[in-house]
């Protein structure tokens, strides 16, 4: 961290010693930079690429058709094309946007029709060296056919760019009504279950009505981030919380046996 941003912390002390089980390091300048992911033919006539300015109207319509449940929630802006240029890294202005914009979006476009077949939206938290894999959706027209199957099959390849962001930690929340994505991230991508958050997000349920939906949360380490994460021997937990952690460790071991390793 440069001198002008440093705070003199010499007269303060942390609550307790929390690094006996992990590494520590000097605080430095931290930034997530979105990678310039190359255009890729995924088969079945679909090409994945970074969103461009010309795509915005079609992509907003895609989210309305494919993930309308976010209407009325904090992510409703995805349904509103006028919100994109100020929020999302666009290929047209990549040199600047890849560093400054909080949201990154890849889309899958039909080579034949130009229709958006799938999209993913990722959020970054620079100072935490964290990315959140916020949304992934396949268009209802192809979700259950061969095209949708081919997209799921490519998922492990599709997210290989994550490490090149510089992030050490990745999180994802998954809808409790969609166990396919739970399977992909737990059984194929090697993420671990952090818990279920009841009522975490508001979700649209038709007309102008909403309810509070529940989400499954998972996490994964990259770029040696796990070596800086303190372990349970440094924690002070209630017996019930400790019991829960032990059970989660047992369950998460089932993911490690068959998943891709990131660090």
Domains identified in the chain, total number: 1
Evaluate if residue 255 carries a pLDDT over 60: yes
Q: Contact 120/155 with Cβ under 8 angstroms?
A: no
pLDDT grade for 69, boundaries at 50, 70 and 90: very high
Cα separation of 19 and 246, whole Å?
A: 20
- Quick one: how far is CA 67 from the chain centroid? 16
Cα separation of 165 and 126, whole Å?
A: 10
Answer whether residue 42 is part of any domain: yes
Element (H, E) at 43: strand 40-43
Cα separation of 246 and 216, whole Å?
A: 18
Answer whether residue 243 is part of any domain: yes
If one counts every other C-beta atom within 10 angstroms of the C-beta of residue 68, the result is: 13
Percentage with pLDDT > 90 across the chain: 77
Q: What is the pLDDT of residue 46?
A: 86
Answer whether residue 91 is part of any domain: yes
Q: What is the pLDDT of residue 143?
A: 78
Answer whether residue 13 is part of any domain: no
pLDDT grade for 146, boundaries at 50, 70 and 90: low
Domain that holds residue 217: 31-256
Q: What is the pLDDT of residue 150?
A: 66
Cα separation of 159 and 2, whole Å?
A: 32
The length of the chain, given as a count of residues:
263
Q: What is the pLDDT of residue 13?
A: 95
Answer whether residue 17 is part of any domain: no
Cα separation of 242 and 95, whole Å?
A: 46
Answer whether residue 82 is part of any domain: yes
Domain of residue 108, CATH code: 3.40.630.30
Answer whether residue 108 is part of any domain: yes
Task: Round the average pLDDT of the chain to a whole number and report it.
Answer: 91
Q: Contact 35/165 with Cβ under 8 angstroms?
A: yes
């Amino acid at each position: 961290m440069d001198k002008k941003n440093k705070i003199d912390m010499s007269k303060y002390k942390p609550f307790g010693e929390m690094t006996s089980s992990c590494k520590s390091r000097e605080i430095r300048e931290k930034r997530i930079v979105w990678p310039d992911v190359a255009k890729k033919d995924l088969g079945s006539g679909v090409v994945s690429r970074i969103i461009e300015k010309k795509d915005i109207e079609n992509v907003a319509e895609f989210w309305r058709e494919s993930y309308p449940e976010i209407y009325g929630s904090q992510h409703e802006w995805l349904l509103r094309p006028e919100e994109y240029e100020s929020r999302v890294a666009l290929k047209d202005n990549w040199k600047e946007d890849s560093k400054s914009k909080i949201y990154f979006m890849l889309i899958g476009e039909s080579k034949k029709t130009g229709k958006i077949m799938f999209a993913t939206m990722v959020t970054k938290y620079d100072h935490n060296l964290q990315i959140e894999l916020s949304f992934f959706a396949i268009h209802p027209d192809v979700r259950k056919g061969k095209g949708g199957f081919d997209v799921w099959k490519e998922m492990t390849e599709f997210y290989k760019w994550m490490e090149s962001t510089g992030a050490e930690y990745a999180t994802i929340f998954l809808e409790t009504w969609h166990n396919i994505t739970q399977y992909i991230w737990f059984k194929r991508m090697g993420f671990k279950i952090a818990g279920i958050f009841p009522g975490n997000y508001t979700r649209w349920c038709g007309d102008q009505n909403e309810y509070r939906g529940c989400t499954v949360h998972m996490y994964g380490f990259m770029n040696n981030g796990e070596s800086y994460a303190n372990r349970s021997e440094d924690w002070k937990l209630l017996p019930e919380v400790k019991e829960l952690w032990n059970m989660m460790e047992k369950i998460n071991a089932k993911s490690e046996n068959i998943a891709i390793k990131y660090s």
